[in-house]
Amino acid sequence: MIQCKDCEFCEITKDGKKTFKCDPFVNIKGPECIAKWQLLRLDLLCVSHANMMGWYKKMSPMQDKIFKYIQREMDDIDQAENWKVDDDQDEDVETDRDDYYRP
């Protein structure tokens, strides 16, 4: 199995950072390279997911405040529209109708 440090498509800088110029669709040395490429992509996916979860944790308190504010506004709207429909008045109308239609 060829090591990445010995491959012509790998460049290592003085500070130890590795740059891979291999492409699994164009220039690949062996089947092990595909497995390594998959591990690199999986690691990148995990790091991205961890960063996204960090942002979600930062945004969570703000989202809770927004939800509470929206709930309060919706409750205010419901209370403001209560004067339009009086529940007691609706019940009286229904009982009057029942009396009216009795034979």
Question: Counting Cβ atoms within 10 Å, is residue 36 exposed (0-12), middle (13-18) or buried (19+)?
Answer: buried
Position 89 pLDDT exceeds 60: no
Position 39 pLDDT exceeds 80: yes
Yes or no: say if 21 and 11 are a contact pair by the CB < 8 Å rule: yes
At 48 the pLDDT is 97
56 band by pLDDT with thresholds 50, 70 and 90: very high
Angle, alpha carbons 12-17-23 (nearest 5°): 70
At 17 the pLDDT is 87
